[in-house]
Amino acid sequence: MSNVQLKNSERIGEVILSARNVSKVYGSTHALKGVNFDIRRGQVTTLFGENGAGKSTLMKILSGVIQPSSGEILLEGEQRTFHSTNDARACGIAIIHQELNLALNMNVRDNIFIGREIMNGSGVDFAEEERQARELMTELEEEIDPLTPVESLRLGQQQVIEIARALSVNARILIMDEPTSALSAAEVEVLFKIIRDLTARGVAIVYISHHLEEALEITDHAVVLRDGAMTASAPRSDIDLPWIVRNMVGDHFDLGSPPDGYEMGDVALEVSDLTVTNPAGIRVVDNLSLSVRAGEIVCIYGLMGAGRTELMECIAGRLHAREGEILLRGTSIAGLSIADRIESGLALVPEDRQRDGLVQTMSVGENLTLASISEFIRAMVMVPKREKQLVKDAIRNVTVKTAGGEAAIGSLSGGNQQKVVIGKMLATQPNVILLDEPSRGIDIGAKAEVFRLLAENARKGLAVVFSTSEVSECLSVAHRIIVMHKGRISAIFDANVTKERIMAASGESLVA
């Protein structure tokens, strides 16, 4: 161990960065209210809270993205002001943002070193950047060529590139805002191993995650924010899952149960012998068959790479089937475009809401009406009154917390943005709705609202299919649970199944 590492290890647990009485005000909105927050050397401090609780706002202040309205930041006891991320980075503070911040048209190497290129006598030293990028990929146990365009990588791999960029800075304080939201179980294990290596070297980690059980595995100290204020703080030895949930959302909380008290209708969606291949010709969905009835909620569970996303995107028309048939209310939809399938009553809520579900330059209302624009066009002319009513109804129906339809979509929390995407597709009045990881990156309270929304619409006769990689979500509102493994259905369960059986069928083992 080097002298620096030895010195750092001897100081494990001391406060390295503090927020003191920090507040942030946006107009009439108080995003943070006098928060006191400590980050300790060589430890993982986990920040829990619902969407909109102020977690990301606090982290943006600590990393120089924005400045506080009041309060102070102390770095090793000295007051500091970070006017930019460069200021914070110069002090050894790096952040991995919740929403990916990558240049999709650039390769992996250039994304890792963008804005801080390695220079030599003749300009940028691309060879050295590539060498270091390969080392980072090896450390993260990812077989990704540094010259690969980022846009060709799947979402989980893009998340790994975001992590690699933060690790390349050699930060002494590393903020991770939802770093595992798109990672597979194996990739999470690798990340946790890296986190433990970093903390052993004295690096302070701030970890934000809506995967509560996962966060408990890695944390040393927990802090809970609620409505912009800190409501609880405790060491790992004093907390458990009920403690987190109670301080986040109160007592007597759950994700719901399968809706009952009504009869399901006829088969609304039928998939027969469906096969989908990737560009390399490998079967990612392999001879799969399933059916969903009107009013039924079906959950598709599987690990990363199980074929869940490819199945949904093929049904929705985003991918082509190599073999098989898809029937919507008994009628084949082969050859129909995505727009035609929406018109026929089939809707998809995609996994990546930022890239595929929302238009960031549009308002909340414009995003809500984007998929049903034909409803308020008469003789090629917009009918504003009909559009405003649709926006008003959608905001009410999916309980979006917003200042109004004119508000910027970026002003909403992740959970409310997800409800806008769902509301947009529900506004098309579908018979079948597909939701790919609908709770990705949203808190437990927002999850419950999303599942309540699905249950309410199932009662009205909507056929619902949602995918998840969180086993606890399978046991919420689903009437049936379909487990996928390597492109095939490995098991079908009813709502009374145990977590252990679901995970075993997926090829996963329950971590003790």
pLDDT at 2: 42
Q: Positive or negative CA dihedral for 489, 495, 501, 504?
A: positive
- Same domain membership, residue 371 and residue 227: no
Q: Does the residue 80 lie in any domain?
A: yes
- Residue at which a domain ends, from 413, 429, 445: 429
From residue 90, how far is each of 87, 96, 257, 323 by CA, in Å?
Answer: 5, 16, 49, 55
Strand order across the beta sheet in which 331-332 lies: 283-293, 267-277, 323-328, 331-332
What is the C-alpha to C-alpha distance for residues 244 and 317, in angstroms, rounded to an integer? 40
- Closest residue by Cα to residue 154 from 347, 300, 356: 356
Question: Closest Cα partner for 183 from 203, 167, 163?
Answer: 163
pTM: 0.61
pLDDT at 226: 84
What angle, 0 to 180 degrees and rounded to 10, lies between the N-to-C axes of helices 414-426 and 384-397? 120
Point out the domain boundary residue: 211, 233, 249: 249
What pLDDT score was predicted for residue 247?
A: 83
Same domain for 128 and 222, yes or no, is no
Task: Tell me: do 320 and 264 sit in the same domain.
Answer: yes
Residue 383 has what pLDDT?
62
d(CA 183, CA 365): 31
Residues 326 and 367 reside in one and the same domain: no
In 3D, which of 457, 357, 323 has the Cα closest to residue 398?
A: 457
| CATH code (residue 328) | 3.40.50.300
pLDDT of residue 169: 81
274 and 178 in a common domain: no
Tens of pLDDT along the chain (512 residues) come to 444 444 445 577 799 999 999 999 887 678 899 999 999 999 999 998 876 688 888 999 999 989 999 999 999 999 999 999 888 988 989 888 766 788 889 999 999 999 889 999 899 999 999 999 999 999 888 889 999 999 998 777 887 888 888 888 878 899 988 887 767 777 788 888 888 888 988 889 999 987 778 888 999 999 999 888 998 999 999 998 888 878 876 655 567 889 999 999 999 999 999 999 988 788 999 999 999 999 999 999 987 678 999 999 999 999 999 999 999 999 999 989 999 999 999 999 988 877 888 888 888 888 888 887 767 665 555 567 777 888 888 888 888 888 888 888 888 877 788 888 888 888 899 999 999 988 876 777 778 888 888 999 999 999 999 998 777 788 889 999 999 988 999 999 999 998 778 878 887 544 33
| Residue 266 in domain | yes
Sign of CA dihedral 52, 55, 60, 62: positive
Asked if the structure places residue 191 within a domain, the reply is: no
Do both 113 and 55 map to the same domain?
no
Query: Which amino acid is it at 330?
Result: G
Helical H segments across 307-400, by residue range: 308-316, 338-343, 364-369, 384-397
Do 245 and 271 share a domain, yes or no? no
Does 398 reside within a domain?
Answer: yes
State the sign of the Cα–Cα–Cα–Cα dihedral 257, 457, 410, 30.
negative
CA–CA separation, 124 and 114 (whole Å):
11
The whole domain housing 405 covers 358-429
H helices of 140-226, in order, are 155-167, 185-200, 212-218
* Closest-CA residue to 14 (of 74, 56, 71, 97): 74
Residues 86 and 179 in one domain: yes
In a domain, 350, yes or no: no
- How far is it, in rounded angstroms, from Cα 407 to Cα 362? 9
DSSP state of 61: H
Regarding whether 293 and 224 lie in a shared domain, the answer is no
**309 in a domain, yes or no?**
yes
> Does a structural domain hold residue 194?
no
Q: Which of 429, 454, 481 is the last residue of a domain?
A: 429
Do 434 and 340 share a structural domain?
yes
Bridge-based pairing of strands 15-26 and 123-124 is unpaired
Classify residue 64: in a domain, yes or no: yes
* Same domain membership, residue 456 and residue 339: yes
Beta strands in 44-103 (DSSP E): 44-48, 70-75, 78-80, 93-96
Domain match, 24 and 74 both: yes
Counted domains in the chain:
4
